[in-house]
Structure 1
Amino acid sequence: MRMLLALLLLLALPAAAQDRKEVDLALALGIDISGSIDPDEAKLQREGYVQAFRDPVIKKAILGGSHGRIAVAYYEWSDAWVQRLLIDWTLLDSEAAIDAFTTQLANAPISIARRTSISGAIRYAIPLFGRSPYEAERKVLDISGDGSNNDGGLVTDMRYEALKERIVINGLPIMNDRPNPFGFPSEADLDKYYLHCVTGGPRSFVEVATNFEDFPRAVRKKLLQEVADVGPHFGPVSDFDIALGPLPDGTQLAQSGRRPVRGEDDYTKFVRPEYELGCDIGERRSREFWQRRFGVTPD
């Protein structure tokens, strides 16, 4: 009787729902193109992702999961309402599909905008995941950038909204050691800001790029960790904590933890303690800079 009921429920589902292909991971890549990044640095970011997805080890990891495929979307962001989708959800289920994705990405035009709204980037990703045509075991949003949030809503508010939708957020801060074209100073604490204010969810992590030249290495390591679903242990006490060995390319991870993520888990619990400088530090620094330099505050 139960089997008959289950069959009837399955037949009652819309055809589109029945056809949703399962994937190991739905990965949205959000790339910073704010005014602090010049065209050469934007090109280095783009090439970093292209090189990473072309790496044989990355390909092996993508195709080596339980379903043998992941889905990826790639968009760029800057101001609160400026996000540009370069590549919509794309199924990576073969080397040919991965190569086609990287070719499309390499050929896409590069652009630069103005402000830095991580909150806007997260807000944009939530419905992006909602309309994915794939059924994902895990949903991961990856935010990379070289500055803290200074436009739009508070980043922690949008992080909370994403975590409610069971979207894990990882970060790739770029420690840009030069002032931006407007003279705004670099942020030496950006790695801590990303860790405490941007990332969240089970096994979320930050991978730091020490500069733009280091970006390709950081992207490669980050992708390996995301595809393999490994990361540091934090948050609620785990009943399943192990030391992981090296990644497929020999990269040695520090002590890490894996915790079974059950359907009832509340992802909003998986955040680091409050940042000592406050997660509105980017907004405050921006206001102080513009007031001091020009006697005005930004709109």
Structure 2
Amino acid sequence: MVTSWFRPLLILFAVWAGPAMAEEVVLELVLAMDGSGSINPAEYELQIAGTIAAFYDPGVQQAILSGPTGRIAVAVMIWSDAAFPRITTGWHLLDSRRLIEGFAAVVRDFHAHTGRQFGIGGGGTGIGDGVVYALGMIDGNRYEGLRKVIDVSGDGVETDPWFRAAPTMPYAKRLVEEQGVTLNGLAILTDFPTLDIWYRNHVITGTGSFVISARDFEDFGAAIREKILRETAFQVSEHRQMVPGRLAQMAER
């Protein structure tokens, strides 16, 4: 039984403790990859293989570990159409070469378990729905980053959703802007040679946002490496006005 004199101390401790502190990172990054009906098994495997290779790359590893906090949080998410589930690796903290390469292994195993069942989920190209889901992933994680970035890759323009109420890019883009998130694009030009222009006009937004194009899926590995390098090496000085308290002080060091 809690004595009367001890109860106020418990209440005071609960108020002082508050919610669990978020872990501070330089970047929260969602790699949102196309798993829609236009992606065949070989193309899906090339996306996964390129992502794995990027995290084994010494330059990428150095960029991740050289930020103000020396750590980022990252997740891979496969999207297609709102009629299909989104599958994700979950969030992983990367603050050492061992953990970075461990995440590459997670992506490899994730691919082995998704395979045709979802890897090429089918359906339309629901980019907006995927972006809104990625925003929820950022909002619901246990990290607080100097920057928050969603990296969308795909081989087509957004199509009409199978579910009429599903979010589309105009709505998703407004949400991204309201939440201060940066949305970047990697356009795979196999079926749409001007897809990079469509991404530039309809997808990307936020400070420092950009589009990188891959000529085809074989070119995806080099493109995703360049993209992750740019996202992890981005100068945080441009984002100091968005960073509260202790993180702002860390960015100044």
Bin of the TM-score, shorter chain as denominator length: 0.7 to 0.9
Quick one: distance in 1 between partners of 2:221 and 2:92?
A: 22
Greater helix fraction, Structure 1 or Structure 2: 2
Q: Does 1:227 align with 2:232?
A: yes
- Provide, for residues 206-229 of structure 1, a one-character-per-residue CA deviation record: whole Å limited to 9, x for no partner: 010111111000000000000011
Q: Does 1:158 align with 2:172?
A: yes
Greater strand fraction, Structure 1 or Structure 2: 2
Paired residues of 1:116 and 1:149 also in contact (CA < 8 A): yes
- What residue identity is the alignment partner of 1:262? Q
Residue 14 (structure 1) aligned to one of 18, 30, 36: 18
Quick one: distance in 2 between partners of 1:59 and 1:73?
A: 16
Tell me the residue number matched to 2:242.
263
- What residue identity is the alignment partner of 1:163? E
Tell me the residue number matched to 1:79.
81
Aligned length: 220
Residue 173 (structure 1) aligned to one of 176, 179, 187: 187
Q: Once the 2 structures are TM-superposed, how far is the Cα of residue 81 of structure 1 from its aligned partner?
A: 4.1
Quick one: distance in 2 between partners of 1:263 and 1:58?
A: 25
Quick one: distance in 1 between partners of 2:201 and 2:17?
A: 41
Q: TM-score, normalised by structure 1?
A: 0.69
Tell me the residue number matched to 2:97.
95
Quick one: distance in 2 between partners of 1:68 and 1:154?
A: 35
Structure 1 segments unaligned to the other structure (5+ residues): 1-7, 177-185, 231-257, 265-299
Q: Once the 2 structures are TM-superposed, how far is the Cα of residue 126 of structure 1 from its aligned partner?
A: 1.5
Q: Once the 2 structures are TM-superposed, how far is the Cα of residue 149 of structure 1 from its aligned partner?
A: 0.5
- Provide, for residues 64-97 of structure 1, a one-character-per-residue CA deviation record: whole Å limited to 9, x for no partner: 1111100001110001243423311110011111
1:195-274 map, 5 Å: 195-229=200-234, 259-260=238-239, 262-263=241-242
Q: Does 1:121 align with 2:135?
A: no
Q: Once the 2 structures are TM-superposed, how far is the Cα of residue 35 of structure 1 from its aligned partner?
A: 1.1
Quick one: distance in 1 between partners of 2:107 and 2:185?
A: 20
- Provide, for residues 19-63 of structure 1, a one-character-per-residue CA deviation record: whole Å limited to 9, x for no partner: x21000000010001111110010000000000001011111111
Paired residues of 2:93 and 2:99 also in contact (CA < 8 A): yes
Paired residues of 2:155 and 2:188 also in contact (CA < 8 A): yes
The answer to which structure, 1 or 2, has the higher relative contact order (CA under 8 A, 6+ apart) is 2
Across the aligned residues of Structure 1 and Structure 2, the Cα RMSD in angstroms comes to 2.2
Paired residues of 2:147 and 2:239 also in contact (CA < 8 A): no
